[in-house]
Amino acid sequence: MCGIVGILNSNSLKTESIDILKKLEYRGYDSAGLSLFSQKRIKTIKSVGKISALEKKIKSISDKPFDGVIGHTRWATHGVVSRNNAHPFYDDNLTLVCNGIIENYVKIQKFYKEIPNDIESDTEVAFYFLSYLLNKYSNPDSALKIFKKTIKGNYAFVIYIKKNKSFYLLKSGSPISLSQNKKIFYVCSDSSILSDYHDKIYHLKDNDFLKINKDKIINLKNNEPIIFEKNLKSLNSYDKGTFQHFMLKEIHEQPNVLKDTQQRYDKEYFLDFDTKFSDLVNSDKIILVGCGTAYHAAMIGEYYFNKLTSCDVSCEHASELRYKKLPNKKCLFIFISQSGETMDTLMALKYVKKNSHKAVVITNSLQSTMVREADLTIPTYAKKEVGVASTKAFTCQILSLANLSLQIGKIDKSINISQYNKYLKSLKSLPTKLNKLINDFTPVAKKISKKIALADACYFIGRNIGYPIALEGSLKLKEISYMHSEGFAGGEMKHGPIALIDKGTITICIIPNNELYEKSLSNTQEILARNGRVVILSSLILKKNSGTLDTPQLPKENFIDTPFIYTIPLQLISYYFALSEGTDIDQPRNLAKSVTVE
Is there binding between residue 210 and ligand M6R (CB under 6 A)?
no
Between residues 520 and 596, which has the closer beta carbon with respect to ligand M6R? 596
Is there binding between residue 388 and ligand M6R (CB under 6 A)?
yes
What gap in Å lies between CA 47 and CA 33, rounded to an integer? 6
Which of these segments, 106-114, 159-167, 384-392, 487-495, binds ligand M6R (CB under 6 A)? 384-392
Least distance to ligand M6R from the beta carbon of 475, Å? 6
Between residues 130 and 294, which has the closer beta carbon with respect to ligand M6R? 294
117's torsion region: left (phi>0), alpha (psi -120 to 50) or beta? Answer: alpha
Cis peptide before 140 (omega within 30 of 0): no
Between residues 85 and 390, which has the closer beta carbon with respect to ligand M6R? 390
Catalytic hit among 2, 98, 315, 331 = 2
- Phi and psi of 378, rounded to 5°? -110, 110
Q: Which residues are CB-contacts of 184 (< 8 A; sequence separation ≥ 6)?
A: 7, 8, 9, 10
Residue 2 annotated as catalytic: yes
Least distance to ligand M6R from the beta carbon of 180, Å? 28
What gap in Å lies between CA 497 and CA 312, rounded to an integer? 30
Which residues share a beta bridge with 488? 461
Nearest Cα neighbor of 562 from 540, 590, 543, 534 is 540
With CB under 6 A as the contact rule, the residue among 337, 380, 474, 481 that binds ligand M6R is: 337
Is there binding between residue 389 and ligand M6R (CB under 6 A)?
yes
Least distance to ligand M6R from the beta carbon of 291, Å? 4
- Phi and psi of 65, rounded to 5°? -75, 0
Least distance to ligand M6R from the beta carbon of 348, Å? 11
| DSSP states of 506-553 | EEEEEE-SSTTHHHHHHHHHHHHTTT-EEEEEESS--PPPTTEEE-PB
Is the Cα dihedral 339, 343, 348, 353 positive or negative? positive
- The Cα-based distances of 478 to 457, 472, 474, 573 in angstroms read 10, 10, 6, 12
Between residues 180 and 337, which has the closer beta carbon with respect to ligand M6R? 337
Give the pairing of strands 548-550 and 533-538: parallel
Between residues 154 and 342, which has the closer beta carbon with respect to ligand M6R? 342
Least distance to ligand M6R from the beta carbon of 589, Å? 12
Q: Which amino acid is at 143?
A: A
Here the contacts of 52-55 (C-beta below 8 Å, separation 24 or greater) are 54/18, 54/21, 55/18
Please return the burial class of 262, using the count of CB atoms within 10 Å of its CB with bins 0-12, 13-18 and 19+.
buried
Alpha helices, H only, 265-368: 273-276, 278-282, 292-308, 318-321, 343-354
What gap in Å lies between CA 291 and CA 471, rounded to an integer? 13
For the window 577-596, what string marks contact with ligand M6R as x by the rule CB under 6 A? -----------------xx-
Between residues 17 and 380, which has the closer beta carbon with respect to ligand M6R? 380
Asked if residue 133 lies in contact with residue 143, where contact means CB atoms within 8 angstroms, the answer is: yes
Between residues 169 and 291, which has the closer beta carbon with respect to ligand M6R? 291
With CB under 6 A as the contact rule, the residue among 77, 390, 562, 567 that binds ligand M6R is: 390
Residue 593 annotated as catalytic: yes
Between residues 293 and 505, which has the closer beta carbon with respect to ligand M6R? 293
- The Cα-based distances of 457 to 346, 460, 504, 530 in angstroms read 34, 10, 7, 15
With CB under 6 A as the contact rule, the residue among 339, 367, 369, 505 that binds ligand M6R is: 339
Q: Which residues are CB-contacts of 255 (< 8 A; sequence separation ≥ 6)?
A: 430, 431, 432, 434, 435, 438
SS3 350: helix
Between residues 464 and 596, which has the closer beta carbon with respect to ligand M6R? 596
Residue nearest to ligand M6R (CB): 292
Between residues 380 and 551, which has the closer beta carbon with respect to ligand M6R? 380
By CB under 6 A, the residues from 464 to 503 that bind ligand M6R are 475, 479
Asked if residue 45 lies in contact with residue 62, where contact means CB atoms within 8 angstroms, the answer is: no
What gap in Å lies between CA 410 and CA 207, rounded to an integer? 45
Least distance to ligand M6R from the beta carbon of 238, Å? 17
What gap in Å lies between CA 431 and CA 395, rounded to an integer? 11
Number of residues interacting with ligand M6R: please give it, by CB under 6 A: 16
Which of these segments, 137-145, 166-174, 183-191, 334-342, binds ligand M6R (CB under 6 A)? 334-342
Least distance to ligand M6R from the beta carbon of 199, Å? 25
With CB under 6 A as the contact rule, the residue among 166, 231, 338, 474 that binds ligand M6R is: 338
Which of these segments, 16-24, 28-36, 53-61, 338-346, binds ligand M6R (CB under 6 A)? 338-346
Least distance to ligand M6R from the beta carbon of 595, Å? 5
Is there binding between residue 401 and ligand M6R (CB under 6 A)?
no
For the window 162-201, what string marks contact with ligand M6R as x by the rule CB under 6 A? ----------------------------------------
Least distance to ligand M6R from the beta carbon of 577, Å? 15
Catalytic hit among 14, 50, 410, 593 = 593
Between residues 553 and 583, which has the closer beta carbon with respect to ligand M6R? 583
With CB under 6 A as the contact rule, the residue among 99, 234, 345, 380 that binds ligand M6R is: 345
With CB under 6 A as the contact rule, the residue among 174, 262, 342, 369 that binds ligand M6R is: 342
Is there binding between residue 319 and ligand M6R (CB under 6 A)?
no
Least distance to ligand M6R from the beta carbon of 489, Å? 19
Least distance to ligand M6R from the beta carbon of 58, Å? 30
Please return the burial class of 507, using the count of CB atoms within 10 Å of its CB with bins 0-12, 13-18 and 19+.
buried
What gap in Å lies between CA 331 and CA 250, rounded to an integer? 35
By CB under 6 A, the residues from 255 to 294 that bind ligand M6R are 291-294
Q: Which spans of this chain sit near ligand M6R (rule: CB under 6 A)?
A: 291-294, 337-339, 342, 345, 388-390, 475, 479, 594-595
Active site residue ranges:
2, 593
